[in-house]
Amino acid sequence: MKKKKMKLLNLEEIHAALTNILAEFDRVCRAHNLCYTIAYGTLLGAIRHKGFIPWDDDVDVCMPRPDYEKFYAMVKSGEIQLGEHFILSEDRGKKAFYPFVKLMDTRYKIKSWSHIEVPYLFLDIFPIDGVPDDEKLLKKSRKKRIYYNGICALARWAVPDKKWMIILRGLFFPFYFGCWIQGKARACRKSNENALKYDFNSYDKCSVMNFSLEKWVMKREKFQDLIEVSFGDIKVYSIAAYDEWLAMSYGDYMQLPPENKRVTHGMKVWKIDESEK
């Protein structure tokens, strides 16, 4: 079989490819009246830099759980026709990687010790669920979330490139083996079951409850108030209360971090030569 030619991309080219994925996601959501907001570093980049944080190399969005489930179902049923080259990962069943989905562009292969679970360049889509008012229930839910997502992260049987990861895996082989035995699919199912106990429309507050990213808890109603913001040369949606969200997540978010904190996800990206397909 003839080996496909691939071009290694620089960070500027990765940004362009990721913007294209975000534009496709935005197109689908607008066409089908689905609610979303850019999130985390993507939101920070839009507000502080009008685009990517210069050293960032991923894109994050959040969707209220009802919109997230509708998006997933419509893509899988074919009611939503994604553009050519775009595919959706799985957050359930035997093929689940994490308890959230990724929109991927099959024209771009990736390699990263921290993102080896999918083969293509992607956009992360996190569901937003309700948050219980009872602090004990919230702490219990948080512990379960950390446990199950820890299994997802550690159940990778592929050998990592980083030498310290290889050494760590060797030293704690029984622990990693136990995570592998429990499996990603079961951990994803349990994590989502934990989050789905708290219906988005039944609680006053909400957050990402099925992944270990809960740095913020906000009033549900704020996700019904969206604005358009610039992200490079495209327009995308953000919650109007972005200042509250970013302050909870990053503190003084308009202040640039020290240079030693300006790190990427260590991801290498190659563009597949279309003529070789």
Judge whether residue 21 has pLDDT over 70: yes
Nearest to 126 by CA among 191, 202, 77, 179: 191
User: Is the pLDDT score of 214 beyond 90?
Assistant: no
Q: Is the pLDDT of residue 146 over 70?
A: yes
The pLDDT-based confidence of 97 (bands split at 50, 70, 90) is confident
Helix (H) or strand (E) holding 103: strand 101-111
Report the percentage of the chain scoring pLDDT > 70: 85
**Tens of pLDDT, residues 172-191:** 666 666 666 777 888 888 88
Amino acid at 188: C
What value does the mean pLDDT of the chain take? 87
- What pLDDT does residue 89 have? 94
> What mean pLDDT comes out for the span 32-49?
97
The domain spans of the chain are 6-128+208-276
What would the two tokens of residue 177 be?
A: 């083996």
Which has the higher per-residue pLDDT, 248 or 170?
Answer: 248
Percent of the chain at pLDDT exceeding 90: 56
Amino acid at 211: F
Tokens standing for residue 44: 């920070």
3-state secondary structure labels for all residues of 182-199: HCHHHHHHHHHHHHCCCC
DSSP 159: P
- pLDDT (average), residues 136-147: 85
Take residue 223 and report the two structure tokens written for it.
Answer: 């996700």
Reported confidence tier of residue 165, pLDDT bands at 50, 70, 90: low
Contacts of 237 (CB under 8 A, 6+ apart): 26, 29, 35, 36, 37, 38, 226, 227, 228, 229
Structure tokens at 196: 């789905």
Average pLDDT over residues 238-259: 93
- Over its C-alpha atoms, the chain yields an Rg (Å, rounded) of 19
Q: Which two tokens stand for residue 228?
A: 């358009």
- pTM for the model: 0.89
pLDDT at 276 over 60: no
Residue 94: predicted pLDDT = 86
Among 19, 25, 17, CA closest to 49: 19
Per-residue pLDDT of 45-78, as tens digits, reads 999 999 999 999 999 999 999 999 999 999 999 9
Q: At what angle do helices 135-154 and 173-182 cross, to 10 degrees?
A: 110
Give the class (CATH, top level) of 6-128+208-276.
alpha beta
